[in-house]
Amino acid sequence: MKAQVVVQTGDRKLELTEHEVPRVTAGTALLAVEACGLCGSDVEQYKGAFSAKGIAAYPLIPGHEPVGRIVEIDADAARAWGVKAGDRVAVEPHLSCGLCRTCLEGSYHLCKEVRPTGLPAYGFLPLDFGHGLWGGYSTYMHLVPRTVLHKIPDEMPIELATQYQSLAAGVRWAVQVPKTALGDSVLILGPGQRGLGAVIACCEAGAGQIIVTGLRRDRHKLDLALALGAHHTIVADEEDTVERVLSLTGGRGVDVAVDVVPAATQSIVDAVGAVRIGGTVVIGGVKGGTSRVSLDSDRILFREITIKGVYSQGSPAYREALRMLVENRYDLARLHTHTFGLEEADTALRTLAGEIPGAEAVCVSLHPHQSPPRSQS
């Protein structure tokens, strides 16, 4: 049996081809990919940022946000995962060993044992690693032992289901890690999928004041942030972010500042400048290997500011995100802007990257089993 796959062979080079589907062996399963969400990491991978840093090597099948149906499953895997053939699941991308010190201390999403060099995650492993069928830009994926799955209801619209990772990032980065509590003020720097996920998570946590920054070209995303429940927006290339935050908080600064801006580093400087005495800065936006930030360390010391890095989401955040997607109290379908077939992967990535004029993308997904005309929903 062959899967239809998109293989990345170089920077900005994608090929639609076929790949042998491996047999289901002990502890494994076969997933029919219903859709795969795309995020900023997909765009960076497409452009070549990860291969340049040695995190991912070509050729590979991208796609680390897959949702699909189990079509075949080994009995051991069915017992371990609590799922059966026919179940609909969302897949956590990170692969872990379950036995190293990092895993045993609960940080399985940071385990390096499965693959010491590069990112040990679905969507980032090369074709010559194991069975090769690792990515969600494919009609089928082979799920290996210790994959973490989350069951999702049959009736959940796929446009909601594919938002599980961005919403989980918002849950962990803006609420669970900084311990955001009822009434807290939160500054979210960056209005992309993760920033909007952070807005929703902060609303759910009962934050008293939510402020979101973006650029002039992000107006549609800033408007979405306001519609979802943010109280104020700041246009960072027109206004002074720190000044605005201090004026909005009576000079005190925010309790929590969450940076989800990709590439640019000014947002980290602004976060440190805008947080209150004893406040917390969370850094979740990947800046790229050459970026350096110049910070006034005395400000951090004298104000006892906590700075915390976050990578990936983790099971508790995925569980909360999926609960919120099931309840759908925030009308999250409005975040999903574009649906593409597998053969349109290149266009999908350029749409999310903002390279298609007027597209105004937020959440974009690939649907490997159908070839729908490019659509805006």
Neighbours of 369 (CB within 10 A): 15
Residue 149: CB partners within 8 Å, gap ≥ 6?
A: 81, 83, 89, 90, 91, 92, 143
- Residue 41 binds to Zn ion (criterion: CB under 5 A): yes
Binding test (CB under 5 A) with Zn ion, winner from 61, 67, 111, 141: 111
Region near Zn ion per CB under 5 A, out of 45-53, 107-115, 117-125, 287-295: 107-115
- Residue 39 binds to Zn ion (criterion: CB under 5 A): yes
Nearest-5° Cα angle at 226, 279 to 255: 5
Of residues 91 and 234, the one with the C-beta less far from Zn ion: 91
Binding test (CB under 5 A) with Zn ion, winner from 103, 227, 269, 359: 103
- Residue 167 binds to Zn ion (criterion: CB under 5 A): no
Residues 127, 14, 286, 34, CA torsion sign: negative
Region near Zn ion per CB under 5 A, out of 73-81, 95-103, 124-132, 145-153: 95-103
- Residue 346 binds to Zn ion (criterion: CB under 5 A): no
- Residue 100 binds to Zn ion (criterion: CB under 5 A): yes
- Residue 113 binds to Zn ion (criterion: CB under 5 A): yes
Q: What is the smallest separation between the CB atom of 293 and Zn ion, expressed in angstroms? A: 23
Q: Which two tokens stand for residue 301?
A: 């010391």
Of residues 113 and 346, the one with the C-beta less far from Zn ion: 113
Number of chain positions touching Zn ion (CB under 5 A): 8
Of residues 103 and 158, the one with the C-beta less far from Zn ion: 103
- Residue 310 binds to Zn ion (criterion: CB under 5 A): no
What are the backbone dihedrals phi and psi of residue 270, each rounded to the nearest 5 degrees, phi first?
-65, -40
Region near Zn ion per CB under 5 A, out of 102-110, 136-144, 197-205, 281-289: 102-110
User: For residues 163 and 339, is the Cβ–Cβ distance under 8 A?
Assistant: no
Region near Zn ion per CB under 5 A, out of 40-48, 174-182, 205-213, 342-350: 40-48
Q: Number of H helices and number of E strands within the chain?
A: 13, 16
Of residues 39 and 127, the one with the C-beta less far from Zn ion: 39
Binding test (CB under 5 A) with Zn ion, winner from 32, 52, 71, 97: 97
- Candidates 236, 260, 235, 231; CA nearest to 248 is 231
- Residue 55 binds to Zn ion (criterion: CB under 5 A): no
Looking up tokens 């918002």 gives 170
User: For residues 325 and 298, is the Cβ–Cβ distance under 8 A?
Assistant: no
3-state secondary structure 256-280: EEEECCCCCCHHHHHHHHHEEEEEE
Which residues of the chain form contacts with Zn ion (CB under 5 A)? 39, 41, 96-97, 100, 103, 111, 113
